[in-house]
Amino acid sequence: MRLDGRQQSGNVEDRRGRRVKGASMGIGGLIVVGLITWLMGGNPLDVLRQGGGAIVTQQAAQEEPYTPTAEEEEMATFAKVILKGTEDAWTEIFAKYGKTYTPPRMVLYTDAVQSGCGGASSQVGPFYCSADQTLYIDLSFFNQMKTQLGAGGDFAYAYVIAHEVGHHVQNLLGTLDKAHARMAQVSKTEANAISVRLELQADYYAGMWAHYDDARFGSLEPGDIEEGINAAHAIGDDKLQMEAQGYVVPDAFNHGTSKQRMAWLYKGYREGTLEGGDTFSLPDPSI
């Protein structure tokens, strides 16, 4: 991506180095909890409802000396630039629809964090909390994407941030509350199906951001979209389940298949309209 000279967002709180003491983590296996819940979005407590357990009970927090590496500082700057790009894009998009965009905050943290939705370990991956309208990211996740998923690249990392911002857009538009209310009233299988539609829509919104960001700044370079599509493929429910347990359980999908995630991300980039991201009116969100 071409990002030289770009502005950074001021809506970022740096909590790196604030270690959580006496944390209790009920983790049902790193692969299952860590991989399948990555890019969950929404309330991190949904991880518990969906069978995970990487939620942290915080007993005390303490500020400790923390010196980030040069690579981590570079990623922190990158995250701030991408967040600013989402602010510019969604402000423009909302204005086109006669709406006002209120940007989310971003919190950078290390290992564990206290959010408006409760305490969470970094093993839940980047998440968005609607209670405080904030994105939470442990920057080490991007290295995990590269080394564990084979999904590295600057646009792939930007896609992660833009996906979480997509959940914020859903929150502002009222989609998130309606979906979560409905999920609380139906079976787990039906709730998972609703979650898939939420996640695919957030993928579409990430593609929308790329559409507007590239139009405004000429930010995309050859291979960038392919990086994003590769990342979307790497985090499909079918692929993660197969790697984690050797078989696939479609009723347990809560993000969408690799094919679906790739398709909706690219559709958002190609179309760039809110109407094109309606994953809820389709009988089947496959495209």
From the list 152, 166, 165, 163, the residue with the least C-alpha distance to 75 is 152
Residue 219 pLDDT: 94
In the chain, where the domains are located: 12-277
pLDDT the model gives residue 68:
80
| Burial class of residue 152 (count of CB atoms within 10 Å of its CB; 0-12, 13-18, 19+) | middle
What letter does residue 100 receive in the DSSP assignment?
Answer: -
pLDDT number for residue 263: 87
Residue-level pLDDT at 261:
84
In degrees rounded to 5, what are phi and psi of residue 137? Answer: -140, 125
Please tell me whether residue 276 adopts helix, strand or coil conformation: helix
Cα–Cα distances (Å) from 247 to 123, 204, 231, in that order, read 22, 27, 21
Report the DSSP pairing between strands 105-108 and 134-137: parallel
- pLDDT tens for each residue of 89-144: 999 999 999 999 999 999 999 988 999 988 888 777 888 999 999 999 999 988 88
Estimate to the nearest angstrom the gap between the alpha carbon of 218 and the chain centroid.
23
Q: Which pLDDT belongs to residue 7? A: 95
What CA–CA distance (Å, rounded) separates 46 from 287? 26
In this prediction, residue 161 carries a pLDDT of 95
**What are the Cα distances from residue 117, in Å, to 113, 127, 183, 198?**
10, 10, 17, 18
Q: pLDDT in tens for each of the 287 residues of the chain? A: 999 999 999 999 999 987 655 443 332 233 333 333 443 333 444 443 333 334 444 444 445 667 888 889 999 999 999 999 999 999 999 999 999 999 999 999 998 899 998 888 877 788 899 999 999 999 998 888 888 777 778 888 999 999 999 999 999 999 999 999 998 999 888 888 888 889 899 999 999 999 999 999 999 998 888 887 777 656 554 445 444 555 444 444 456 677 788 889 999 999 999 999 999 988 877 66
pLDDT at 234: 62
pLDDT for residue 245: 54
Q: Please give the backbone phi and psi of residue 62, each rounded to the nearest 5 degrees, phi first.
A: -140, 135
Tell me what pLDDT residue 256 has.
62
CA 14 from chain centre, in angstroms, equals 18
Residue whose C-alpha is closest to residue 287's, from 262, 270, 254, 251: 262
User: What's the pLDDT score for residue 53?
Assistant: 35
Calpha distance 163→142 (Å, rounded): 14
Cβ atoms within 10 A of the Cβ of 104, count? Answer: 26
DSSP assignment of 109-153: -SSEEEETTEEEEGGG-SEEETTTTEEEE-THHHHHHHHHSS--S
Q: How far is CA 111 from CA 57, 108, 140, in A?
A: 13, 10, 9
Q: What is the DSSP string of 16-85?
A: TTEEEES-EE--S-HIIIIIHTTT--S-TTHHHHTT---BEE-SEEEE------HHHHHHHHHHHHHHHH
